[in-house]
């Protein structure tokens, strides 16, 4: 079966934070069911919010740029 990306979705920080949701999003992406998009603003927000969720600034940076 040939998949074709039909949808582009902008995912905000609150969507990509929970591990389960992020896993599902990446599964959909891997199977080319949709194309995720992020902006530098979203990554900046991620880095700013993560310390309040128990993720250090260093860990947050590594999750963005592994």
- Write down the pLDDT at residue 49: 86
Query: What confidence tens digit (pLDDT) does each residue in 4-55 have?
Result: 667 888 888 877 777 788 788 888 888 888 888 888 888 888 888 888 888 8
Q: How far apart are CA 28 and CA 8, in angstroms?
A: 12
pTM: 0.62
Long-range (24+ apart) CB contacts under 8 A made by 49-58 are 49/13, 49/17, 50/17, 53/17
Q: How far apart are CA 40 and CA 43, in angstroms?
A: 5
**Residue whose structure tokens are 């992406």:** 29
Region of 32 please: left (phi>0), alpha (psi -120 to 50) or beta.
left
């Amino acid at each position: 079966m040939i998949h074709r990306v039909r949808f582009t979705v902008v995912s905000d920080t609150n969507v990509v934070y929970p591990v389960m949701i992020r896993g599902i999003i990446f599964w959909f992406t891997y199977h080319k069911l949709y194309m995720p998009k992020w902006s530098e603003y979203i990554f900046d927000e991620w880095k700013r919010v993560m310390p309040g969720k128990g993720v250090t600034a260093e860990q947050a940076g590594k999750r963005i740029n592994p």
